[in-house]
């Protein structure tokens, strides 16, 4: 695994930080460890099934990138899940049972099979991709390329 680039706390904001800040997203500096995200991906599957995917993702993103929490820790993830609209007992039970392990593993295998090498990567029509964080116009252009009208916000 390549070495992580640590951004000094007093360095100028990166382009991703600047775009995030413009959208109200804050990236904190000072992380000393990287969470294993498999459990968070499993929790995201439960959130998808319960209709809380957007809310859960916003809360998990905040926990990891802004609050520098370990989303690979079950207790942390259950608390974050509850704050993101999930039933805590149901989440803890699904994680303990491994209910979504195979679904997450299949998704990871599929992404590797199609050549995904970085996160985030957005895949369109299982044929085209956008790698990394980009401006909204890049997504609009891709939607036009694949013949889909972008949703109105």
Residue 128 neighbours by CB distance under 10 Å? 11
pLDDT tier, 4 (very low <50, low <70, confident <90, very high otherwise): low
Domain 1-113: top CATH class: alpha beta
Q: Tokens in use for 149?
A: 């009208």
Domain coordinates in residue numbering, the chain:
1-113, 115-153
What pLDDT shows up at residue 6?
64
pTM of the model: 0.80
Q: Convert the pLDDT of each residue in 41-97 to its tens digit.
A: 999 999 999 999 999 999 999 999 999 999 999 999 999 999 999 999 999 999 999
Q: Tokens in use for 135?
A: 């401006």
Closest C-alpha to 52, from 65, 43, 39, 61:
43
What pLDDT shows up at residue 120?
84
Mean pLDDT, rounded, of the chain: 89
What pLDDT shows up at residue 153?
57
């Amino acid at each position: 695994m390549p070495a992580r680039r640590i951004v000094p706390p007093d360095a100028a904001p990166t382009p991703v930080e600047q775009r995030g800040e413009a959208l109200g997203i804050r990236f904190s500096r000072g992380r000393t460890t990287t969470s294993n995200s498999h459990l968070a991906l499993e929790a995201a599957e439960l959130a998808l099934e319960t209709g809380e995917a957007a809310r859960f993702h916003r809360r998990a993103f905040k926990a990891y990138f802004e609050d520098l929490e370990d989303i690979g820790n079950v207790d942390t993830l259950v608390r974050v899940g509850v704050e993101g609209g999930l039933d805590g007992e149901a989440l803890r039970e699904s994680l303990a049972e491994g209910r979504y392990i195979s679904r997450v593993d299949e998704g990871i295998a599929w992404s590797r099979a199609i050549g995904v090498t970085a996160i985030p990567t957005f895949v369109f029509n299982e044929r085209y991709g956008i790698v990394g964080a980009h401006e909204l116009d890049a997504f609009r252009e891709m939607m036009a390329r694949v013949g889909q009208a972008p949703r109105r916000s």
